[in-house]
Amino acid sequence: MAHAEAHADEHHYTATGIDNKKLAIWTFIGSECMFFASLIGVYLTYKGRDVSGPKPHAEWLDKAGVLQEQMLEIPLVTFGTALLLFSSFFVVLALNGAQRGNRKQLIGWLVATIFCGVFFVGMQVYEFSHFAHRGMGYTTNLFASTFYTLTGFHGTHVTLGLLWLISVLVVALRGKLPPEKALNLEMAALYWHFVDVVWIVIFPVVYLIR
């Protein structure tokens, strides 16, 4: 039916020319900014207001009266941060591959992105379990609660982003990500960039500012 075909094109019509899905991701990211702004605000409000140790940047006395080292271990996290930053670059290369139909470039860089993400999450899991081992439980003090909550929510976002990227990778491996569907990767990439940018704020707030 001629009419129906003419109308089918209208389903791609947008007033701005920007794809609906892409705009939706941008909108969602805008909203997420307020989510992390609130969490960071809570972290800063309670910074240094602990009733007792552990402390992020200074030595502290544990319950037995033994002097303990500061909690945060900056070198490892700096390395993780760098990897996360690189992954943002990698996913751009992967997207470029998808858009040009270069399957090798797409899959290679996507795998590299996912590898960096997995390393970052692994680093965080190591950090959390190490802290727990050193006696910092979730409810130990305000620093513990705010730290775990802020970085934990970020880690959850990284994990969700990874799930998304892996889903796209599976689709790409099955050869179902032709250039005209590169948008499906672009959306995941936008979200991935956002997750990185949030970490760029969290990292100095938590690890660098004393």
Partner 1 sequence: MATTAIDHAPAHTHEHTGLWSWITTVDHKRIGILYGATAFFFFLVGGLEALVIRLQLMGPNKTLVSPDTYNQLFTMHGTTMIFLGVMPLSAMFFNYLIPLQLGARDVAFPRLNAFSYWVFLLGGILINVSWFTGHAPNGGWFGYANLTTKQFSPGPNIDFWTVGLQVLGVASLAAAVNFFVTTVNLRAPGMKMMHMPMFVWMSFITQILLLLSFPIITVALILLMIDRTFGTSFFVPTGGGDPILWQHLFWLFGHPEVYILILPSFGIISEILPVFSRKPLFGYAAMVFSGAFIAFVGFGVWAHHMFATGMGPFADAFFSLATMIIAIPTGVKIFNWIGTIWGGKVDFKTPMLFAIGFIAMFIMGGLSGVMHASPPADLQQTDTYFIVAHFHYVLFGGAIFAISGGAYFWWPKMFGKMLDEGLGKLHFWLMLIAFNLTFFPMHILGLNGMPRRVYTYSAESNFELLNKLETIGALLLGFSFLVFLYNIIKTWRTPQPPVGADPWNAATLEWSIPSPPQHFNYPTLPQVHGRDALWELKARHGGPLPEPQRVAEDAVLMPNPSWKPLVAAIGVTVTLGGFIGGSHLWVHVAGVAILLYGIYAWAFEPAFPEHH
d(CA 135, CA 63): 10
Phi, psi of 171 (to 5 degrees): -60, -45
Nearest to 60 by CA among 132, 135, 156, 164: 135
What lies within 8 Å, CB to CB, of 173 at 6+ separation is 107
**Shorter beta-carbon distance to partner 1: residue 16 or 63:** 16
Question: Where does this chain touch partner 1 (CB under 8 A) — which range of 65-73, 85-93, 145-153, 195-203?
Answer: 145-153
Q: Which of residues 73-132 bind partner 1 (CB under 8 A)?
A: none
**Shorter beta-carbon distance to partner 1: residue 12 or 104:** 12
**Shorter beta-carbon distance to partner 1: residue 148 or 203:** 148
d(CA 110, CA 20): 24
**Shorter beta-carbon distance to partner 1: residue 28 or 89:** 28
Confirm or reject binding of residue 2 to partner 1 (CB under 8 A).
Answer: no
d(CA 123, CA 72): 13
What is the per-residue binding string for partner 1 in 148-187, x denoting contact by CB under 8 A?
Answer: -x-----------------x--------------------
Confirm or reject binding of residue 45 to partner 1 (CB under 8 A).
Answer: yes
